[in-house]
C-alpha cells in the first residue's frame, strides 16, 4: 500500500502521543439556503481515542449533528456540502474516499445512531431484515449465521425475548426498545467509532439511563470510541471523559469533564451549567428558577466578525465584538475561545 | 382480517346490486326502442308484429317487473339473451373478455413500467433538468385524450410509416392500442411516484439505511421504493379500473375485438340484456380489484391492520 508524505507525517506526529481512532481537522460544512450560504460547521477539529467517550454539546443549530453527518459522508447534497477539512481514520481521509469505499466503512468501522428511534427504522421491513442486511453486507456471513449474530446483539442490549422481536415491525415496539435495536444494529459489526447523535433525547428519563448504561458497557467491552452528541449536561456528566462545547458552528471550549464542570472558561459554558436544575435544592417546590441565556444564536448565513456569543454575553467588551478570540489553552488540557476568560468571576456558572 | 374480508365481500355484493338497479333504470331513460331499431331496415313489418316481438322479450311489462325477472335469472347465472341474434349474453362476454383483459393488462404493464421508472428518476434527480423535462412530458401525457392519441399513433405508425397494421386482432395489433391506453396512465403514475418518492427520500430511515453502509441500489430499492409503494399501488389499482373504461374508446378506435367494442354496439342497438350484462361484469371486475388491493396493502405495509 502506498502512503503519501502527508499521511506519513500525520501518522508519525500522532504516533508520538497515542494515535487517535478518529481525527477531525478544520472541518467546514456549508448549506445553501434561500437567505444565503449558511456555515453550519466552521473549522471543527477533534480527536477521539479507543475506549473514550467524547461529548459534543451545543444547542440546536450549533453544528454538532452536521459534523457527524460529514464524517459519515451523509450530508444531504444539495443543499449541503463539506468545503474544507479532513477526517482521518485508519490512515485515510474519509472525505476523499469514493462512495463505494465509504460504504465499506459506514455501519462497519464507523457507525452512527440517531435521535429519533421511532422514525429511524424502516416501517415496512421487519427488525430481522433491517438488522441482518448490514451484517451480511459487512461481515460476509450466511443468512443463518447473520440471524444468529443479530440475536446475540439483541441479547447484549438486554432485549427480552429477542427471537420474537426479530419477526416484529418497528410500530410494534416502544421507543426505548427501538433505540436499543438501533444500538445493537450500529454495534453489530464491532465498529471502532460510534457516533451517537442525541441517542436519548426522544426517550423518557428512566429509559435514558438504561440506554446510556448499555452504551457504556459495550464501549468498555469492545473498546469503541464514542462521540456523544447531546445538549444535556446531565448526560455529559454521566457518560463523557472529555467535552467539547460548540456554538454557532465553532468549538468554544474543550476539556475534561472535571475541568468543564468545575472551571468553565467560556461564558456560554457557564450559561449552560447555570441552566441545569440542581438536585438537593432545599427550598419549597417551584421556588428555584433556572437561569437562561438571553438572546438567540446568530443566523448562520450572517455571522458576526467577532465572537459569535458576544451579543448574548454579559462580559463582552469592544474587542469581543471586533475580533474572534483564538482557541487557546487556558489551563492544562483545557482550551477555550474567549478574550475575557481570565476576568470571569469565581464559580462555575452565571 | 378474515372478518374484514367477509364484510368487504358483502359490501361488494351490495355495490353490485345497486349498480344493476341504476343501470336498469338508466338504459330505459335513453330514448329509442330496440325492436324498432332492429327492424328499421327490414321491409313489411307491421306494428302488430313489432308488438308481438316486444311481448316475447317482456319489454311491454312495467320496469320494476322487468328488473325483478332479470335479477331472478341473473341469480341463477343466466344473463339472458341478446335482443338481436338471441345469443347468450354470458357466452358473448366471456368470449370477448380475454381480449379486453389482454389489452388493459398490457397497457397496465406499459403504464407501470414507464410511470414507476420516470417518477423514480424524477424524484431522485429532483430539481434538475431531468426532473423538469420528465414532469413536463408527464403533463403532456396526462392531457392527451385516448381517442386523439390513438388516431395520431394510427396515422404515423400504421398509415404513414406502415410499420404496424391499422386494425385486426393479432398480437401485433395489440401494440398501438396498448401504448395508447398505457401512455396517458403512465403519466399519472409517474407524477404520483415522484411525489411519493420525494417524501420517502427525506425520511430518517433512508438515512439510517445509508448509515448502515448498504449499497446505493439497496437503499433505493429495498428501503425507499418499498416504503413508498402503498400510495403508488393504490393509484395503479384505480388506474386499472379507469383503463377498463378507457378500453371501450380505444377498442373502438383500433377495432380491437373486446367487450368494450361490443358494448358500444349494444348501446347503439339498445340491446338491454347485453348492456346490463356488460356493466354487471365491469362492476364485478372493479370490486374484485379493490378487494385484491386491500389484501396487497397488508402485505406491503405491516402497519395496516383491518381488525
- CATH class of the region B100-269: mainly alpha
Average pLDDT, chain A: 84
* Predicted confidence (pLDDT) at residue A348 exceeds the cutoff of 80: no
Shortest distance, CA B305 to any CA of chain A (angstroms): 12
Q: What's residue A271's pLDDT?
A: 85
* Predicted confidence (pLDDT) at residue B199 exceeds the cutoff of 50: yes
**Do A114 and B208 make contact, defined as CB atoms within 8 angstroms?**
yes
Nearest to A338 by CA among A258, A270, A252: A252
B62 phi/psi in degrees, rounded to 5: -60, 155
What does the pLDDT average to over B213-241?
89
Measure CA of the first residue to CA of the last residue in chain B; give whole Å.
6
What does the pLDDT average to over B125-153?
86
Q: What's residue A61's pLDDT?
A: 79
What does the pLDDT average to over A150-167?
89
Q: What's residue B294's pLDDT?
A: 86
**Do A104 and B213 make contact, defined as CB atoms within 8 angstroms?**
yes
Interface mutation vs chain B, best among A74, A124, A166, most B CBs within 10 Å: A124
CA B184 to CA B187: how far, in whole Å?
5
Smallest Cβ–Cβ distance between A107 and the set B211, B227, B303 belongs to: B211
Tens digits of per-residue pLDDT, B54-68?
A: 887 778 888 888 888
**Percent with pLDDT over 70 in chain A:** 91
* Predicted confidence (pLDDT) at residue A195 exceeds the cutoff of 90: yes
Tens digits of per-residue pLDDT, A258-313?
A: 888 888 888 888 888 887 776 665 555 566 677 778 788 888 888 888 888 888 88
* Predicted confidence (pLDDT) at residue A66 exceeds the cutoff of 80: yes
Q: Name which of A285-289, B20-24, B53-57, B130-134 the model is least confident about.
A: A285-289
Q: What's residue B307's pLDDT?
A: 67
The cell for A59 is 444547542
Say yes or no: B227 contacts chain A, CB-CB below 8 A. Answer: yes
Domain ranges of chain B: 2-75, 100-269
Q: What's residue B168's pLDDT?
A: 66
User: Which residues on neighbouring strands pair with residue B35, listed in sequence order?
Assistant: none
Write out the residues of chain A at the interface with chain B, using a CB-CB cutoff of 8 A.
72, 74, 78, 99, 102-108, 111-112, 114, 116, 119-126, 133-134, 137-138, 169, 171, 182, 185
Smallest Cβ–Cβ distance between B301 and the set A103, A124, A133 belongs to: A124
Amino acid at each position: 500500500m502506498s502512503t503519501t508524505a502527508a499521511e506519513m507525517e500525520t501518522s508519525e506526529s500522532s504516533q508520538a502521543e497515542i494515535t487517535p481512532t478518529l481525527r477531525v481537522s478544520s472541518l467546514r460544512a456549508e448549506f445553501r439556503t434561500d437567505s444565503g450560504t449558511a456555515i453550519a460547521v466552521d473549522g471543527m477539529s477533534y480527536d477521539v481515542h479507543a475506549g473514550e467517550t467524547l461529548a459534543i454539546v451545543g444547542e440546536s443549530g450549533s453544528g454538532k449533528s452536521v459534523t457527524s453527518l460529514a464524517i459519515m459522508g451523509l450530508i444531504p447534497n444539495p443543499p449541503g456540502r463539506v468545503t474544507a477539512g479532513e477526517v482521518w481514520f485508519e490512515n485515510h481521509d474519509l472525505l476523499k474516499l469514493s462512495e463505494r469505499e465509504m460504504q465499506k466503512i459506514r455501519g462497519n468501522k464507523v457507525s452512527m445512531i440517531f435521535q429519533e428511534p421511532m422514525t429511524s427504522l424502516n416501517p415496512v421491513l421487519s427488525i430481522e431484515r433491517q438488522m441482518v442486511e448490514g451484517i451480511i453486507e459487512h461481515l460476509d456471513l450466511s443468512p443463518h449465521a447473520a440471524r444468529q449474530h443479530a440475536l446475540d446483539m439483541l441479547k447484549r442490549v438486554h432485549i427480552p425475548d429477542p427471537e420474537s422481536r426479530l419477526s416484529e415491525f418497528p410500530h410494534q415496539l416502544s421507543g426505548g426498545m427501538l433505540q436499543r435495536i438501533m444500538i445493537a444494529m450500529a454495534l453489530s459489526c464491532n465498529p471502532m467509532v460510534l457516533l451517537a447523535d442525541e441517542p436519548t433525547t426522544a426517550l423518557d428519563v428512566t429509559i435514558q439511563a438504561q440506554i446510556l448504561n448499555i452504551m457504556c458497557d459495550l464501549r468498555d467491552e469492545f473498546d469503541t470510541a464514542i462521540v456523544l452528541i447531546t445538549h444535556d449536561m446531565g448526560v455529559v456528566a454521566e457518560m463523557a471523559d472529555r467535552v467539547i462545547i460548540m456554538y454557532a458552528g465553532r468549538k468554544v471550549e474543550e476539556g475534561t469533564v472535571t475541568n468543564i464542570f468545575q472551571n468553565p472558561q467560556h461564558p456560554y459554558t457557564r450559561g449552560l451549567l447555570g441552566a441545569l436544575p440542581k438536585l438537593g435544592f432545599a427550598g419549597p417546590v417551584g421556588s428555584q428558577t433556572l437561569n437562561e441565556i438571553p438572546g438567540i444564536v446568530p443566523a448562520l448565513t450572517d455571522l458576526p466578525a467577532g465572537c459569535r456569543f458576544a451579543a448574548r454575553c454579559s462580559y463582552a467588551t469592544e474587542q469581543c465584538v471586533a475580533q474572534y478570540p483564538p482557541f487557546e489553552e487556558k489551563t492544562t488540557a483545557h482550551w477555550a475561545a474567549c478574550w475575557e476568560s481570565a476576568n470571569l468571576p469565581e464559580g462555575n456558572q452565571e | 382480517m378474515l372478518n374484514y374480508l367477509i364484510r368487504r365481500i358483502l359490501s361488494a355484493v351490495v355495490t353490485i346490486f345497486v349498480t344493476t338497479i341504476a343501470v336498469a333504470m338508466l338504459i330505459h331513460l335513453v330514448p329509442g326502442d330496440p325492436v324498432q331499431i332492429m327492424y328499421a331496415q327490414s321491409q313489411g313489418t307491421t306494428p302488430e308484429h313489432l308488438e308481438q316481438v316486444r311481448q316475447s322479450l317482456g319489454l311491454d311489462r312495467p320496469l320494476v317487473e322487468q328488473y325483478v325477472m332479470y335479477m331472478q335469472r341473473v341469480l341463477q347465472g343466466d344473463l339472458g339473451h341478446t335482443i338481436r341474434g338471441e345469443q347468450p349474453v354470458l357466452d358473448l362476454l366471456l368470449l370477448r373478455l380475454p381480449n379486453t383483459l389482454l389489452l388493459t393488462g398490457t397497457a397496465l404493464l406499459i403504464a407501470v413500467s414507464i410511470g414507476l421508472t420516470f417518477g423514480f428518476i424524477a424524484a431522485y434527480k429532483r430539481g434538475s433538468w431531468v426532473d423538469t423535462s420528465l414532469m413536463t412530458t408527464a403533463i403532456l401525457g396526462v392531457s392527451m385524450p385516448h381517442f386523439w392519441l390513438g388516431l395520431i399513433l394510427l396515422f404515423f405508425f400504421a398509415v404513414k410509416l406502415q410499420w404496424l397494421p391499422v386494425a385486426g386482432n393479432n398480437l401485433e395489433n395489440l401494440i398501438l392500442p396498448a401504448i395508447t391506453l398505457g401512455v396517458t396512465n403512465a403519466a399519472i403514475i409517474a407524477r404520483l411516484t415522484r411525489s411519493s418518492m420525494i417524501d420517502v427520500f427525506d425520511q430518517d430511515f433512508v438515512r439510517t439505511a445509508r448509515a448502515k453502509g448498504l449499497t446505493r441500489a439497496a437503499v433505493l430499492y429495498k428501503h425507499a421504493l418499498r416504503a413508498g409503494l402503498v400510495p403508488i399501488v393504490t393509484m395503479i389499482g384505480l388506474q386499472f379500473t379507469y383503463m377498463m373504461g378507457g378500453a371501450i374508446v380505444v377498442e373502438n378506435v383500433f377495432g380491437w375485438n373486446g367487450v368494450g367494442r361490443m358494448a358500444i354496439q349494444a348501446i347503439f342497438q339498445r340491446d338491454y340484456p347485453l348492456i346490463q350484462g356488460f356493466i354487471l361484469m365491469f362492476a364485478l371486475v372493479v370490486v374484485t380489484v379493490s378487494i385484491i388491493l386491500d389484501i396487497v396493502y397488508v402485505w406491503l405495509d405491516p402497519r395496516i391492520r383491518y381488525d
